[in-house]
Amino acid sequence: MNRIRVSRRVEKKLAKGLVLLEASDLTDIELTDQAVEVLSQDGKFLGSAYLSQQNKGIGWFISKEKVRFNQAFFEILFRKAKEARKPYYQDDLTTAFRLFNQEGDGFGGLTVDLYGDYAVFSWYNSFVYQIRKLIINAFKEVFPEVLGAYEKIRFKGLDYESAYVYGEEAPDYFTVLENGVLYQVFMDDGLMTGIFLDQHEVRGSLVDGLAMGKSLLNMFSYTAAFSVAAAMGGASETTSVDLAKRSRELSEAHFQANGLSTDNHRFIVMDVFEYFKYAKRKGLTYDVIVLDPPSFARNKKQTFSVAKDYHKLISQSLGILNQGGIIIASTNAANVSRQKFTEQIDKGFAGRRYQILNQYGLPADFAYNKKDESSNYLKVISMKVSK
* Cβ nearer to ligand SAH, comparing 205 with 247: 247
Q: 110-124: b or e for each residue (b if 16 or more CB lie within 10 Å)?
A: bbbbbbbebbbbbbb
Q: Which CB atom, from 26 or from 250, has the smaller least distance to ligand SAH?
A: 250
Tell me the closest approach of the beta carbon of residue 298 to ligand SAH, in angstroms.
9
DSSP assignments along 177-215, one per residue: EETTEEEEE-SSSSS--S--GGGHHHHHHHHTTTTTT-E
- Rounded least distance, CB 175 to ligand SAH, Å: 15
The residue ranges that bind ligand SAH (CB under 6 A) are 196, 199, 220-223, 225-226, 241-244, 247, 271-272, 292, 294, 297, 299
Q: Smaller CB distance to ligand SAH: residue 14 or 210?
A: 210
Q: Where are the beta strands (DSSP E) in 220-320?
A: 237-242, 265-269, 286-291, 296-298, 303-305
Integer Rg of the chain from CA: 22
Closer to ligand SAH at the Cβ: 122 or 221? 221
Report residue 163 CA to chain centroid gap. Answer: 20
Q: Other CB atoms closer than 10 Å to residue 144's CB: what's the count? A: 8
**What is the nearest approach in angstroms of ligand SAH to the Cβ of residue 330?**
7
Q: Least Å distance between CB 274 and ligand SAH?
A: 8
Nearer to ligand SAH, 35 or 229 (CB): 229
Distance CA 120, CA 163 (A): 10
* φ, ψ (nearest 5 deg) of residue 262: -100, 15
> Rounded to the nearest whole angstrom, what is the least distance from the CB of residue 301 to ligand SAH in the complex?
9
Of 103 and 242, which has the nearer Cβ to ligand SAH? 242
Comparing CA positions, the residue from 53, 43, 42, 104 lying closest to residue 363 is 104
Measured from the CB of residue 96, what is the shortest distance to ligand SAH in angstroms?
13
User: 273 with 303: CB under 8 angstroms?
Assistant: no
Amino acid at residue number 23: A
